Amino acid sequence: MFRLEQRPQPSKTMLYLTPVIAVLATMIVGAALFALLGIDPGSAIYLLFIDPFVDSYNLSQLFVKASPLILIAMGLSLGFRAGVWNIGAEGQFIVGAIAGGAVGLALWGTEGWWILPLMAIAAALGGGLWAMIPAVLKIKFNANEILVSLMLVYVAENFLAQMVQGVLRAPDGMGFPESRNLGRNDATSLPDVFPALGIDAGGVVMLVLLALAFFLLQKHALGFQIKLTGESSRAARFSGVKPGIIIAVCLGISGAAAGLAGLFELTGAAGKLTIDFPVGYGFTAIIVAFLGRLNPVGILLAGVVLAGTYIGGENAQFQLQLPAAAVTVFQGMMLFFLLGFEILINYRIKRLRRAV
């Protein structure tokens, strides 16, 4: 029999090495999986992990995919550090896009530099308020925020379906359920800033916010309180931290970040609201947050790696006929190894002698 025993002094080096080891383990086990599927593992690993970062077209798509993941994961990581589990970023992403998109559509035909910032504010408010629902229910009634935030994703999806069927539907779209194309309209489309890496104005905002999050966690009292709450809620309470405020702040920030990501997706890559607008960034960002060790720099790297596997996964599909599900399994494996190895940093396996 075996038992997990807490290590007295978890290794700091290993703490930073685990994501790398997890990625390597994913590559090895993934390669075996691909071999079993009858696909050349070398080419598959190359397409998934290297080609996205060396091919110029793939590079130009990297942050198109990475920016929303990083922005959402950044917001989520604050809550995760404090033990506030917002699983509904996908819903906040949708509501943010609807709120921001509605502003853009209402101002259709108007020109002005102020339109996009206004849409961004509306999106952050929309996402933030949507996240306030689980926050208030948690604070007032101690309702589980995991369940409430997750369930609100489905509500948001139906809300989106109603909106694109109704008030936000394009008048010249022949009745199809989609909005006008905000990405093809000068006043409402995000300008490119560094197209070689796929960074548009939204990507720049994402990087600035990431730097702010870094500052918040390192230097600011609020960051300290968030970390303290996560490490020991009792200690936090004794030192005067109000748990209700931490819950509201964490859900509010993560909701606003997800809402902004929704707007950037809408005014950048996607262009218009459709029923299929959400593609799961809000859920994948949870993987990114943990893969990045809830640390802003780590999240940046993790977002880029995961975005690469998406882009590479598409290439691997049509070049090697790798099934789409295999790519998803691959991404799930990465999180599994990360969490698994994390246990081994904090605990060691001890063999128990059977009592005679």
Residues interacting with other proteins, by CB under 8 A? 42-43, 46-47, 50-51, 54, 57-58, 61, 64, 158, 161-162, 165-166, 169, 174-178, 181, 265, 268-272, 274-277, 279, 311, 314-315, 317-319, 321, 323-325
CA distance 255 to 95: 9
Please report how close the Cβ of residue 93 comes to other proteins at its closest, in angstroms.
Answer: 14
Please report how close the Cβ of residue 265 comes to other proteins at its closest, in angstroms.
Answer: 8
Residue 242 CB coordination number (10 Å): 14
Taking the least distance from each CB to other proteins, the nearer of 70 and 139 is 70
- CA pseudo-torsion sign 340, 288, 221, 83: negative
Cα→Cα distances 235→46, 248, 310, Å? 48, 19, 41
> What one-character-per-residue DSSP string does 216-250 give?
HHHH-HHHHHHHHHHH-HHHHHHTT--HHHHHHHH
Number of Cα atoms under 13 Å in the Cβ half of residue 156: 33
- CA pseudo-torsion sign 306, 308, 309, 311: positive
| DSSP-derived secondary structure letter, 188 | G
Please report how close the Cβ of residue 85 comes to other proteins at its closest, in angstroms.
Answer: 25
Please report how close the Cβ of residue 325 comes to other proteins at its closest, in angstroms.
Answer: 7
Please report how close the Cβ of residue 170 comes to other proteins at its closest, in angstroms.
Answer: 11
Please report how close the Cβ of residue 9 comes to other proteins at its closest, in angstroms.
Answer: 31
Taking the least distance from each CB to other proteins, the nearer of 55 and 214 is 55
Taking the least distance from each CB to other proteins, the nearer of 176 and 215 is 176
Taking the least distance from each CB to other proteins, the nearer of 216 and 258 is 258
Taking the least distance from each CB to other proteins, the nearer of 108 and 159 is 159
Taking the least distance from each CB to other proteins, the nearer of 68 and 79 is 68
Q: DSSP E strands: which ranges in 55-162?
A: none
Taking the least distance from each CB to other proteins, the nearer of 207 and 320 is 320
State both tokens at 319: 């070049």
Please report how close the Cβ of residue 165 comes to other proteins at its closest, in angstroms.
Answer: 6
CA distance 106 to 179: 12
Q: DSSP E strands: which ranges in the chain?
A: 2-6, 192-194, 199-200, 347-351
Please report how close the Cβ of residue 184 comes to other proteins at its closest, in angstroms.
Answer: 8
Q: Which helix (H) or strand (E) holds 93?
A: helix 89-106
- What are 240's strand-pairing partners? none
* Longest pairwise C-alpha distance within the chain: 84
Q: Which residue in 252, 325, 266, 297 sits closest to 76, CA to CA?
A: 252
Taking the least distance from each CB to other proteins, the nearer of 81 and 169 is 169
